[in-house]
Chain A
């Protein structure tokens, strides 16, 4: 079969995916978004049976998934799943509807509303962009004064998304969080992301360490993927001292090179196999 790799930057993950497609006996069709265009014409056929969406921009990932899906290509992840994953507010709403444990979260649409929201949660609080990633502009406010400063800066940013204030309780993590990989059917693997800083993204310097298998973790990953509508996902999970595992966010175009390296699991091959199932 022919499998399209839809990408912008040829990162280590994309190279691993091309290798995995070949090793599984299929033909990779690299589709560099910045060198190509796609027809928005349902009657047209596309030169691949399935497509792995790997664009580094969430907007381009979603747009290419919508287009290829409309051309009848089986797209991983689907545009519906990418749309929810690309928005933290929609993700939390979906997880909450499914009874998945998440941090206590509020959304406010003004500075004043945000201050009230934080009071209802209790300080410290975390405030995040609804469509951000790699931990960018994620802020911790210890008290109202700090939150007001952060909010005033956010309100000065021209994008309307920064006037949607997604405010969350601060989870006291034990110097690490968990990045787990899985689908609606299978738990694949997990790492701890260890950091002295409360932001534990590996893109921000956290160290990847293999996490031991726990049935509770595997179940949570599968339930989370089910709640998101299925897909091959990277699930970020914190260990709360009182409540246990809580899902922080879900990634639809997940990076995996550090996890593959330290766990020895061929995550690229798992992703290609999932797309071909």
Chain B
């Protein structure tokens, strides 16, 4: 399964057992990307930075 890096447009290969919420690194530009799901398709967006209320 292949999709596109939203930052540099390079192809990014998704693992066969990919799940939404996984983080991947773009092999081309090195951006940290979050997998999300839309209408049954896995897409990538730039991962959010740590938020003020993140943690336990």
Interface residues of A (CB under 8 A from B): 7-10, 14, 30, 32, 34-35, 56-59, 86, 131-134, 136, 159, 203, 234, 251-255
Contact B22 A56 (CB under 8 A): no
Q: Which of B37, B54, B56 has a CB less than 8 Å from the CB of A32?
A: B37
CB distance from B16 to the nearest CB of A (A): 15
In this complex, how many residues of chain B approach chain A with their Cβ under 8 Å: the count is: 15
Binding site secondary structure of chain B: loop
Closest 3 CB pairs of A and B: A133-B55, A32-B20, A134-B55
Given contacts A32-B36, A35-B38, contact A8 B55 (CB under 8 A): no
Task: List chain B residues, Cβ under 8 A from A59.
Answer: 53
**Within the complex, what minimum Cβ distance (angstroms) separates A224 from chain B?**
15
In the complex, which residues of chain A have a beta carbon less than 8 angstroms from the beta carbon of B54?
A: 56-58, 133-134
Task: Tell me if A's interface is mostly helix, strand, loop or mixed.
Answer: loop
Closest chain B CB from A188 CB (angstroms): 16
Residues of B within 8 A of A (CB): 19-23, 34, 36-38, 51-56
Shortest distance from the beta carbon of A166 to any chain B beta carbon, whole Å:
15
Chain A residues near B53: list those with CB within 8 A: 57-59, 86, 131-133
**CB-defined contacts of A251 to chain B, threshold 8 Å:** 56
